[in-house]
Amino acid sequence: MMKHIETVAVHAGRAVEPGTGAVTPSITMSTTFERGRSGNYSHEFVYTRSENPNRQRLESALAMLEGGAAAMAYASGMAATAALFQTLRTGDHVIIPTDLYHGSRDLVNQIMQRWGLAADAVDMRYVDNVQRAIRPNTRLIWIESPTNPSLNIADIAAIAAIARQNDILTAVDNTWATPILQQPLALGVDVVMHSTTKYFGGHSDVLGGALIVAEDGELAASLRTMQLLVGGVPAPFDCWLLLRSLPTLPLRVRAQTATAARLAYFLDAHPKVQRVHYPGLPTHINNDVAARQMQGGFGAMLSFEVIGSAETAMQVAANVQLVTRATSLGGVESLIEHRASIEGPHSPTPDTLLRLSVGLEHIDDLMADLEMALATV
Ligand SMILES: *Cc1c(COP(=O)(O)O)cnc(C)c1O
């Protein structure tokens, strides 16, 4: 019987160790594993780049949480994204969203295009735009929903259906929603990508990435080859830390999401705020799509544009005291960031936009901190 996700989060990838009775998994630091007398590998492990007990535990847990057939863990979210793009061939065409994690955009534009991949960026809030961008050589549609940093929503099931008709692979960067709120494989996509650095890790102390596939077939085999031959695999300790964080994932994500939703309404009503980007607000253009494809909330990320200039936004970020002014997201502590300045000179992000990663602090304290910082401008 399929267990509830809270139970899966606690037990997936874990088993009492037969040799010692250890309830918590040990960390296997060994990079190499002994062969038997006949030269065979009796313990199945050979060399840690190809497989390691801690990575195996993490991968099986990630596959179960996303409802996939297999998972491949990488050293970072970017390494996972790159591994998927590296399974494509020169001359293939990909469709990406106009608004997405800037690292993914730069990977496609600065590296993959140089290797002969063709790419088009479309506004995926409208399914028709995706349909129109399909070419005979389109091999992959890369979706991010909600997007970073504009919280745009793409209709995942609709795009996956179009892709399937055209024999095109679909992948969703599910970093912001997590499988607690959104399960893209159940919506018909082929691959889910995670920066496990964010909510899976949850404590801003470990870097990681993963790809979870719907079927353990040809694609899974090439992604394992990418682990082995490109080598961007996570260290055993990093896998251990990530597995350690999984049991609290459902609780953390739900609590952080509940606070974020209330902050979105608070900021939306604030006289110093021009606009709030949060898919849970009824004014969000794809609020209905988000409500259909997400369960239990709209996530713990939001962004807002202050009235004024880039300097006004910078001043708000400088004046918060409880919220930390730093990049990244998904940790237990709330973070605020002026996005355009980290995305670089070609960033399409408005320079009055601040992104907020809502942590586990009490709502009243967060609200008071933001109120105080907004009062200074
Ligand atoms: C952080 C992030 C990434 C990149 O992951 P790293 O672990 O930093 O390499 C990709 N996509 C999204 C949505 C992210 O937030």
Q: How many Å lie between the centroid of ligand 1 and the Cα of residue 207?
A: 9
What gap in Å lies between CA 64 and CA 67, rounded to an integer? 5
Ligand 1 contact via 77 beta carbon (within 6 Å): yes
- The per-residue pLDDT for 343 is 86
Q: What six digits make up the tokens of 366? A: 């967060």
Ligand 1 contact via 97 beta carbon (within 6 Å): no
Ligand 1 contact via 76 beta carbon (within 6 Å): yes
CA distances from residue 300 to 209, 259, 265 in whole angstroms, order as listed: 19, 7, 13
**Confidence label for 348 from pLDDT (cuts 50, 70 and 90):** confident
What gap in Å lies between CA 209 and CA 197, rounded to an integer? 7
Q: What is the number of the ligand 1 atom nearest to the C-alpha of 207?
A: 7
Q: How many Å lie between the centroid of ligand 1 and the Cα of residue 210?
A: 11
CA distances from residue 101 to 74, 75, 125, 203, 238 in whole angstroms, order as listed: 18, 17, 16, 20, 23
Residue to mutate, 197, 335, 355, ligand 1, most ligand atoms under 8 Å from C-beta: 197
Ligand 1 contact via 206 beta carbon (within 6 Å): no
Phi and psi torsions of 115, nearest 5° = -90, 10
Q: Is the dihedral of CA 185, 226, 95, 304 positive or negative?
A: positive
Q: What residues act catalytically?
A: 49, 101, 173, 198
335-338 and 324-325 beta bridge pairing: parallel
Q: How many Å lie between the centroid of ligand 1 and the Cα of residue 262?
A: 25
Residue-wise pLDDT for 222-271, tens only, equals 999 999 999 999 999 999 999 999 999 999 999 999 999 999 999 999 99
Ligand 1 contact via 240 beta carbon (within 6 Å): no
What gap in Å lies between CA 67 and CA 121, rounded to an integer? 29
Q: How many Å lie between the centroid of ligand 1 and the Cα of residue 51?
A: 23
Ligand 1 contact via 202 beta carbon (within 6 Å): no
Q: Tell me if 356 sits within 8 A of 304, measured CB to CB.
A: yes
DSSP labels, 280-343 = TSTTSTTHHHHHHH--S-S-SEEEEEESS-HHHHHHHHHH-SSSEE-S---SSS-EEEEHHHHH
CA 322, 328, 333: angle at the middle one, nearest 5? 30
Q: What is the number of the ligand 1 atom nearest to the C-alpha of 78?
A: 9
Q: What is the number of the ligand 1 atom nearest to the C-alpha of 328?
A: 1
Peptide bond into 149 cis (omega under 30): yes
**Confidence label for 1 from pLDDT (cuts 50, 70 and 90):** low
Measured in whole angstroms, the distance separating CA 63 from the mean position of its chain's CA atoms is 14
What gap in Å lies between CA 353 and CA 340, rounded to an integer? 7
Ligand 1 contact via 238 beta carbon (within 6 Å): no
Q: What six digits make up the tokens of 217? A: 């077939």
Ligand 1 contact via 195 beta carbon (within 6 Å): yes
Q: How many Å lie between the centroid of ligand 1 and the Cα of residue 261?
A: 22
Residue nearest atom 7 of ligand 1, based on CA coordinates: 77
Residue to mutate, 182, 198, 328, ligand 1, most ligand atoms under 8 Å from C-beta: 198
Ligand 1 contact via 159 beta carbon (within 6 Å): no
- Interhelix angle for 236-245 vs 53-66, to 10°? 40
- The per-residue pLDDT for 225 is 97
Alpha-helical (H) ranges within 107-177 are: 127-133, 156-165
What gap in Å lies between CA 244 and CA 3, rounded to an integer? 19
Residue-wise pLDDT for 32-91, tens only, equals 999 999 999 888 899 999 999 999 999 999 999 999 999 999 999 999 999 999 999 999
* pLDDT, the chain, mean: 97
What gap in Å lies between CA 362 and CA 370, rounded to an integer? 13
Residue-wise pLDDT for 122-163, tens only, equals 999 999 999 999 999 999 999 999 999 999 999 999 999 999
Ligand 1 contact via 103 beta carbon (within 6 Å): yes
**Count of positions (residues) in the chain:** 377
Residue nearest atom 4 of ligand 1, based on CA coordinates: 77
What gap in Å lies between CA 262 and CA 296, rounded to an integer? 14
Name 278's Cβ contacts closer than 8 Å, sequence gap at least 6. 151, 260, 261, 264, 268, 284, 298, 302, 303
Burial class (CB in 10 A: 0-12, 13-18, 19+), 197: buried
